[in-house]
């Protein structure tokens, strides 16, 4: 299995990290809220709300990243290391994105999001 495929697994898991931060950072998530966690997460504020938003964005971007990695592999990109480096850079951008979201650094978060988007597009460009 390639490094890029491992990065896909990491990307799949990142939203759940954000979910845990969202649920448990407020300190009042318990069995009472576990009956309707979506309603609970929509009601949180501050750090927990930003963690929830980072979770949602992570779920949104993961399919595009996975598709890019798979397409680059199918296209037999000459240098496998290129795919691996792009994948590691993407995961790094996602971690930075989550940190920026949690810290409420909106402008930097948007810039990091754009870098991640460009990295996803790069998988398609190297496959040409």
pLDDT tens-digit profile of 57-99?
Answer: 999 999 999 999 999 999 987 789 999 999 999 999 999 999 9
Residue 105 CA to residue 12 CA, distance in Å, equals 24
pLDDT digits 0-9 by tens, 27-46: 665 555 667 778 788 888 89
Give percent of the chain with pLDDT exceeding 70: 92
CATH class of 3-125: mainly alpha
Is residue 105 a contact partner of residue 62, using CB atoms and an 8 Å limit? Answer: no
DSSP code of residue 26: S
- CA separation for the pair 92, 87 (Å, rounded): 9
Does the pTM surpass 0.85? The reply is: yes
Torsion of CA 60, 63, 68, 69, to 10 degrees: 120
Sign of CA dihedral 35, 61, 16, 28: negative
In angstroms, the CA 50 to CA 69 distance is 28
CA–CA dist 73, 124 (Å, integer): 10
């Amino acid at each position: 299995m390639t490094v890029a495929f491992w990065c896909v697994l990491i990307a799949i898991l990142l939203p759940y990290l954000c979910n845990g931060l969202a649920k448990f950072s407020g300190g009042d998530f318990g069995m009472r809220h576990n009956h309707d966690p979506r309603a609970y997460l929509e009601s949180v504020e501050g750090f927990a709300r930003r963690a929830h938003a980072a979770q949602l964005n992570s779920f949104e971007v993961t399919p595009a990243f996975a598709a890019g990695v798979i397409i680059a592999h199918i296209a037999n990109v000459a240098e496998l290391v290129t795919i691996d480096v792009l994948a590691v850079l993407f995961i790094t951008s996602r971690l930075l994105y989550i940190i920026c979201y949690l810290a409420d650094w909106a402008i930097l978060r948007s810039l990091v999001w754009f870098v991640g988007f460009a990295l996803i597009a790069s998988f398609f460009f190297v496959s040409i």
